[in-house]
Amino acid sequence: MTRRQLHLNAFLMSTGHHEASWRLPESDPYASVDLAHYRDLARIAERGTFDSLFLADGPVLFNHVGQRPSGVLEPLTLLTALAVATEHIGLIATASTSYNSPYNLARRFASLDHISGGRAGWNIVTTAGADAARNFGLDDEPAHATRYERAAEFLDVARKLWDSWEDDVVVADKAVGVWGDERKIHPPRHRGTHFSVEGALNVPRGPQGYPLLVQAGSSQDGRHFAARHAEAVFTAQQTLGDAQRFYADLKARAAAEGRDPDHLKILPGIVPLIGATEAEARAHERVLDEHIVPEHGLQHLERLLRLEPGTLRLDAQLPADLPPESAIEGAKSRYTLIVELARRERLTVRELIGRLGGGRGHLTFAGTPEQVADAIEKWFGLGAADGFNIMPALLPSGLALFVDHVVPILRARGLYRTEYGPRGTLRDRYGLPRPVNPYTVPSLTHA
């Protein structure tokens, strides 16, 4: 029997996940719009036989440009360029169900799936925040529950569009002049609450049928959505216990939805800070943290917690009277994670900023390659993860260190693939089935 194997995803972000990463000598301040930078990162990840690359996104200018690199390449566009520059690695783009049309977005993912030979993935987000809403004609963000309701209908329509072509439409009878079989085209004729979509997609069904469906919110609405629809989940977990509870909860929810729990892969985020010795790794972390401008972190934290500017004090703890998660309309799980982290470890705002600056609340782990591999093996073995979302603090060096020093250990322990093997789709890498087109009549050969 084959031993269960880890899955690894590289979460790319310009000069790295640490907010001060751009200030280090190796970093190119223009990296966020530089295709060559991302091509290098993709090739490093492919050298490490990663399952996939991932790009976060929101249709809004997030950062204050005074503070850190802002402005990025649109993810599906960038990943399409990277599809041509790579051969094997999966390409997961974040795209919003609140600020897209199903027809347009389903087309784009189907197109990327064709172009990449079946390597497209979609991180389905509902997009929190009034700033994004105001870029699309709304005055404020729709309510959390409304956004998830729209997301479910959006995905329903997208599936109908991807299934609107059966896999074997093309007849290609040149002699007679018949290209395809019209009976194998199935217009959605969808009339719902949020969308009406009449016609078939204008892209044939892609190599994967659907792109890999990914989800990253951990609120109750988010978990419900993930249990029903997601095939991979990116999550922020600070402790082994929290991660185990989240893992067990989501697998149980998937089973309760009638799904094979193994068809939902859970990947906690990890920010590895790697050194030849533990002391070297900690020194590297300290250098990064020392480059954080605390006042910038303070403003960022106030926005995350939906507080008025000037509410927080750097050397005090968070106020006791923060609202409960239920009162927050956007990014609920991130809100709770930050508040619980600060309360659990009695962090001052300054300390909390340092912790968040490293990777926005994901598990930061500083140590030797063996220590990082040990942590990964432990979480993987103890029911906390099917793999990891690797979020290097500094790019490209952090990814290269992981690939060249941690990956070989994981391989030597038999936990991780040593090569990609025969050309496969992103679904193949994650051990997920290709969705059957519901219109396709099963073969009667074995009836």
Span from 57-65, 228-236, 334-342, 402-410 in contact with a copy of itself (CB under 8 A) = 57-65
Q: Return the number of the residue (201 or 432) whose C-beta is nearest a copy of itself.
A: 201
Span from 61-69, 331-339, 402-410, 414-422 in contact with a copy of itself (CB under 8 A) = 61-69
| Interface with a copy of itself in residues 274-303 (CB under 8 A) | 291, 293, 296
Q: How many residues bind a copy of itself (CB under 8 A)?
A: 77
Q: What is the DSSP string of 98-132?
A: SSS-HHHHHHHHHHHHHHTTS-EEEEEE----HHH
- Is residue 67 within the footprint of a copy of itself (CB under 8 A)? yes
Q: Are 407 and 49 in contact (CB under 8 A)?
A: yes
Q: Return the number of the residue (98 or 237) whose C-beta is nearest a copy of itself.
A: 98
| Interface with a copy of itself in residues 315-334 (CB under 8 A) | none
Output the furthest CA–CA distance in the chain (Å, rounded). Answer: 80
Structure tokens at 316: 């005090």
Span from 23-31, 214-222, 271-279, 430-438 in contact with a copy of itself (CB under 8 A) = 23-31
Q: 344 exposed, middle or buried (CB, 10 Å; 0-12, 13-18, 19+)?
A: exposed
- Is residue 115 within the footprint of a copy of itself (CB under 8 A)? yes
Please name the residue that has the structure tokens 């329903």: 156
Q: Which of 139, 138, 157 is nearest to 97 (CA)?
A: 157
Q: Return the number of the residue (131 or 280) whose C-beta is nearest a copy of itself.
A: 131
Span from 97-105, 227-235, 267-275, 312-320 in contact with a copy of itself (CB under 8 A) = 97-105
What lies within 8 Å, CB to CB, of 164 at 6+ separation is 185, 186, 187, 188, 199, 200, 201
Q: Which of 361, 150, 386 is nearest to 250 (CA)?
A: 386
Q: Return the number of the residue (93 or 376) whose C-beta is nearest a copy of itself.
A: 93
| Interface with a copy of itself in residues 160-199 (CB under 8 A) | 165, 169-170, 172, 174, 177-182, 185, 195-199
Helix, strand and coil in the chain, % to nearest 5: 40, 15, 45
Please name the residue that has the structure tokens 């404020």: 140
Per CB under 8 A, the list member of 104, 320, 321, 346 interacting with a copy of itself is: 104
- Is residue 26 within the footprint of a copy of itself (CB under 8 A)? no
Span from 45-53, 62-70, 246-254, 378-386 in contact with a copy of itself (CB under 8 A) = 62-70
Q: Return the number of the residue (131 or 377) whose C-beta is nearest a copy of itself.
A: 131
What lies within 8 Å, CB to CB, of 354 at 6+ separation is 289, 292, 297
- Is residue 136 within the footprint of a copy of itself (CB under 8 A)? yes
- Is residue 260 within the footprint of a copy of itself (CB under 8 A)? no
- Is residue 18 within the footprint of a copy of itself (CB under 8 A)? no
